[in-house]
Amino acid sequence: MKLESVLQFLENKTILVTGGAGFLAKIFVEKVLRVQPNVKKLHLLLRAADAKSATQRLHSEVFGKELFRVVKEKYGPNFSSLISEKVTVVPGDITCEDLGVADSDLREQLWAQIDVIVNLAATTNFDERYDVALGVNTYGAKYVTEFAKKCSQLMVLVHVSTSYVSGETEGLIKESPYRMGETLNGVSGLDIDAEKRIVEEKLDELRKEGASEKETRVAMKELGIKRAKVYGWPNTYVFTKAMGEMLVGELKGDMSVVIIRPTIVTSTYKEPFPGWAEGVRTVDSLLVGYATGKLTCFLGDINGVVDMSRTNIGSSMVRDMHTGRHVIGC
């Protein structure tokens, strides 16, 4: 599938976006609505108990944001009509089979109509609880891939990973997908299902000990770091994202898959306007500290290279590939 234009490709397409209320998902949706209003439908998967609460999240956490200022100005009073026509909220949960979509009629509709799936759901905390990170970043990737294989007219699955699945490796890093069980330090024995059993056993042990919620949270964070370092990854986030890539590669079969590996994602670069960000994450704390004068200096290598992605959703989001792809930036 050689695309002359991503805009042309997106025309009349039905797209499922996971992590619909997340930072990158909002930017992706805003971009599509602003530059390709002839997209057929955007289905946004949001974690919610039912359609009503999912719709409330959609309006408060997505379209209620300043990010949509430009597209609202473009369409004026017709913006609400555009959203009603083009955007559908899907209550679900990426950590569950069939993405937690309880409505069987809706599931069948999605399987019959989806052309593109963009998996943007993730937890990006470096020291996230291991059970949470494994559920979202690893098994979430599995469930998205399995869901995609049921979509009869799917053209491509775009899975957004991170460049830091390569850990702290130096030098030239090839754009190669991870094989199942591959590790950074060469230690054998990585088994994703076994990792899940380790989590379940630890949680069961903590319950029997009567551990408090805080004690459980600390224990699960420590477990994630410990398991990551066994196989050469520096933290829970990149370890679970790497295992997610393994599952996508193992399960995809002959389905067209793109794996995008952005570096540190910061604010918007130019579109829809410079400098939009949400929350303080990764390198943002340094930038905020310096900008407010609370941080006047910090140690660093003057010859070092800081690799960050100013967020502009472009053509790299949709390409036809049968192997993983390391893309610097979005």
Task: Give the catalytic positions in this structure.
Answer: 237, 241
Produce one character per residue of 46-78: b if its CB has 16 or more CB atoms within 10 Å, e if not: bbbeebeebeebbeeebbeeebbeebbeeeeee
Round to whole Å and give the CA distance between 151 and 161: 22
Look at residues 315, 322, 317 and name the one whose alpha carbon lies nearest to residue 177: 322
Round to whole Å and give the CA distance between 51 and 67: 24
Helix (H) and strand (E) counts in the chain: 12, 8
Interacting residues of 280 by C-beta distance below 8 A, sequence separation 6+: 288
- Environment class of residue 205 by beta-carbon count within 10 Å: exposed (0-12), middle (13-18) or buried (19+)? exposed
Phi-psi region of 151 (alpha: psi -120 to 50; beta: other; left: phi over 0): beta
CB 17 within 8 A of CB 86: no
